[in-house]
Structure 1
Amino acid sequence: VERYAEVVADSGIDAKVGQHVWDGVVRDLTGHAGDNRLADGFVKAVESVGAVLAQHFPVTAGDTNELDDHLVEI
């Protein structure tokens, strides 16, 4: 069974967050998938990405969501 995951970040995020961070998220996600714990992997990935984004892009008063909050599984 083939397992592949990718984190796609826009240029603003990419400028502040190193590739090694995304590599770690993907490594954790595919590791969980390999252990037949894909749902746990998704939960951990979303939590990890949320923490990274909150660190570099904290919510401020008046912020609005520019994009939908959802996970894309292909």
Structure 2
Amino acid sequence: MDMGNDQGSLPLTRTELRCLRRCAEGRTDQEIGAELELTATEVAAVLSVVMLKLRVPNRMAGLAKAARLGYLRHDQA
């Protein structure tokens, strides 16, 4: 899914979006992993890739940028 290209950010995969949206809801890596059938370590790795793709230093900045880009809208796949 390509939601646009703000300042060089790369498109996110479905799994990346699912993890990101659950992170935005305040869920822990363990909670996200249980729901998506991933380990907490895998969730952390997925979210690290998301932050790299969004070109931000941490999750807080990532969530803010993801919101600006429309990635957190639930009407998106």
Q: TM-score, normalised by structure 1?
A: 0.31
> Relative contact order (alpha carbons < 8 A, sep ≥ 6): 1 or 2 greater?
2
Q: TM-score, normalised by structure 2?
A: 0.30
- Which structure has the greater CA radius of gyration? 1
Greater helix percent: which structure? 2
